[in-house]
Amino acid sequence: MQLLLKIKPHYFFLLAALYFHWKLDKLTPPLQVPDEFNHFYKALQISEGQFLPVKQDNRLGGVVPASVREFVLPYGNAATNLKYTLTQKELYDSFKIKYSNSDTIFYDFPNTAIYSPVSYFPQALAIYVLKKFDCPVASLYYGGRNLIFICWLFAMFFVIKMIPYGKWLVTLLILLPMNMYIMNSFSADTVTNIISLLFISYVLKLSQQEKKINYGNILLLLGMITILAFAKVVYIGLVLLLFVIPPKQFKSLPYYIFSLLILFVSAFLITYYWSNLILTYYTPYANYNEVYRNGICLSNCANYYLQKELILNNKMYFIDVIYKSILQHPFSYLNGYIGLFGNMDILLPKELIYYSYTVIGLVAITEYNEKVTHFLYKIIFIIAGLAAFIFLLLSQHLTWDCVGEGIVDLLQGRYLIPILPLLFLVFSNSIFKVKLIPNIIVMIFVCYINRYSAKTIYNRFFVESYDKKTEFYCGGEELNEKKNFKTTNEKIELEGASSQTDSVARTGKHSIVLSIKSPYSLIYKFKNLEYGDLIEISAWEKGSGAQFVLAGECKNKKLSNFYIPNSFINFRDNKGWGYINMVQTVTMKCDSSNVSFFVWNPDSTSKIYIDDFRFSIKKFKDNYQDSLFSKIAQMNSSRLK
């Protein structure tokens, strides 16, 4: 116990951060932070020297090779479908995918294409270096993920060591599960969080130090402000924190005024320049190429220009937006600041969230500090935090919310990581002399909540929770007595055997050919597809244009029949076979007793070959993921009301 009490906060941070990074690195599959696959694509573009967004045919994105698409596919399914789980074998097998620039296509990632290269410099640097050694795609990914962690680790060590008070409080905030989760990814938020917290701690250090501020201090502040303005302009409001530094810390009053003038003007000019540059690439959903605009990270009802016009013409409108955004669904962002993982589908219990804020408040109030900033200066903490928060709300409302929606609907807690430390530091004081309580509380709480979060993340991604599973494979090789295709499941046969051919095959001796004579094949008829079922379908296609179709009829005439087609080729192998993958959670309310799956060639002039067909249906009862599915649906529903 005595040894624990002697541990300094920055050394405890090092031990805890290294341990939980190691744990999270094992338990978190690649690309599971929101939109991380798009962040990965952006970092790849930067590693190729493409620093500015690429816009063509009213699309925003960049060229992505087949090897990267093959690597991303299973992790993209896991990120976008909360019932999709992975296996350790899939993680190991992903290291077999060698990076190659062949079979490139233009991919849409409009939400990250407009980000500054500053936000991805560590990850892009790792990719650039590792590509020189002919590494697998997985190595490029993990190399970038680990390099940004190392940058974060050193930066946060100095943040804690440098900040003049509230060291255990800041240690606790930095080691919250959400922060640990974000930094273990390609998210652009990590660089923003690093610079924001470094800036805050350095300004507070300058405000308390005995030495006068010199040119080197000003240049370092200017560098931080420059990076912050390029990384994420919404946090430039934090620059107001400079007023915390008393004029007496400068050589003279003119030197104080001139220094602050240089810093504020620089912040304004950089923000103005980068914002205007990015706006030249901005493409709202209505103007985006309609062939590609669905299914990408783009709000279908948002329009920056129309929303801006509405705000300017109605001065009370945005004030009302701020009020509603803070008060109408606070749990969504308060929960997200502590820990809301995956695609915002891995929730911590509400009780743990409440307990977390109680612990933060207790540490803030009781931590022993020899001296703190005067309360009058702490008002600047609140003003700077609110300025950054309002800029954040404005940015989100202009680019993501429906025009006239009246509320910021995508206010995520992870966006508050650079802001809330300022507000919590307001409660730091030098009155309480209790030296032991905060240290022990922080150590115990950090270990408990991060272990709990790691277990929760593992359950989401690696623990199967289905009650029943039906699966089979068909390579088109064998027919039964009824002249239907045999499958690996003895109880299941597929119609359409007239399409069998031995002229082309990916594996074995046969495949299925779709032509004018037999446009339909692999017909599977089954019963009782239900709400919440998870369907996974994959096959290889020679040629292009085949449609994989799932269709059903509802007995209840008040419910809608369904028809779900998919023809997207994810990537091609070196022999020209394209991989089609279809993952679908049944979200329609349908008491279907007659369901059909089939592959179809709608083009009577072409031949398409299909091989190595796999199909599975997983059914779920009351369990972790079903209850989670309901929670997310309810949360999203409440936001829209």
Is 456 found in the same domain as 548? no
Statement to judge: residues 176 and 64 lie in one domain:
yes
312, amino acid identity: L
Tell me the C-alpha distance between 123 and 60, whole Å.
21
Q: Does residue 360 share a domain with residue 216?
A: yes
Which pLDDT does position 640 carry in this prediction? 36
Indicate whether 483 belongs to any domain.
yes
Residue 641 covered by a domain: no
Tokens 């829209």 appear where?
Answer: 640
422 with 550, same domain? no
Q: Which of 461, 483, 501 is the last residue of a domain?
A: 461
Q: pLDDT for 344-381, tens place per residue?
A: 888 999 999 999 999 999 999 999 888 899 989 999 99
Q: What mean pLDDT comes out for the span 490-503? A: 95
User: Is 640 domain-assigned?
Assistant: no
Number of domains in the chain: 2
Classified as helix, coil or strand, 250 is coil
Tokens 């409080």 belong to which residue? 169
Single out the residue in 435, 461, 487 at which a domain terminates: 461
Give tens-digit pLDDT for 411-453: 889 999 999 999 999 999 887 766 557 888 999 999 999 999 9
**Which parts of 292-348 are beta strand (E)?**
340-341, 346-347
Q: Return d(Cα 155, Cα 37) in angstroms, integer.
A: 25
Give a yes or no: residue 626 inside a domain.
no
Residue 633 has pLDDT above 50, yes or no: no
Q: Which CATH number goes with the domain that contains 485? A: 2.60.120.680
Please report whether residue 629 resides in a domain: no
190 in any annotated domain? yes
Cα angle, residue 70 at apex, residues 64 and 71 outer, rounded to 5° = 95
The span from the CA of 130 to the CA of 139, in Å, is 8
pLDDT at 601 over 60: yes
Q: 307 and 146 in contact (C-beta within 8 Å)? A: no
Continuous H helices in 114-214: 121-131, 137-162, 167-174, 177-183, 189-208
Most confident of 203-217, 421-435, 613-627: 203-217
- Assess whether pLDDT exceeds 90 at residue 123: yes
> Do 208 and 118 share a domain, yes or no?
yes
Residue 451 contacts by C-beta under 8 Å, 6 or more apart in sequence? 23
Give the pLDDT score at 5.
65
Decide which of 461, 490, 522 is a domain's last residue: 461
What is the spatial distance between Cα 133 and Cα 198, in angstroms, rounded to a whole number? 34
Residue 289 lies in a domain: no
Please check whether residues 555 and 432 belong to one and the same domain.
no
Show the tokens assigned to 48: 């190729």
Residues 434 and 548 in one domain: no
Please indicate, yes or no, if residue 636 is contained in any of the structural domains: no
* Average pLDDT score over residue span 391-403: 94
What's the longest Cα–Cα distance across the chain? 97
Specify whether 491 is located in the same domain as 572: yes
Examine the domain organization and report whether 454 and 502 are in the same domain.
no
What the block records as the tokens of 526 is 């089954």
CA-to-CA distance for 70 and 99, rounded, in angstroms?
10
Same domain for 527 and 378, yes or no, is no
50: exposed, middle or buried (C-beta count within 10 Å: 0-12, 13-18, 19+)? middle
Same domain, 155 and 196: yes
Q: Could you tell me which residues are beta bridge partners of residue 616?
A: 471, 536
> What angle is formed at CA 446 by the lines to CA 359 and CA 361, rounded to 5 degrees?
15
DSSP 431-462: S----SHHHHHHHHHHHHHHHHHHHHHHHHHH
Specify the pTM. 0.92
Asked if 526 and 437 sit in the same domain, the reply is no
Instruction: Look at residue 311 and tell me whether its pLDDT is greater than 70.
Output: yes
* Long-range contacts, 323-331 (Cβ 8 Å, 24+): 324/406, 324/407, 325/393, 325/407, 325/408, 325/411, 328/407, 329/635, 329/638, 329/639
Over residues 526-544, the pLDDT tens digits come to 888 888 899 999 999 999 9
Structural Rg of the chain based on CA atoms: 27
Query: What number of H helices and E strands is found in the chain?
Result: 21, 18
Range of the domain at 557: 468-619
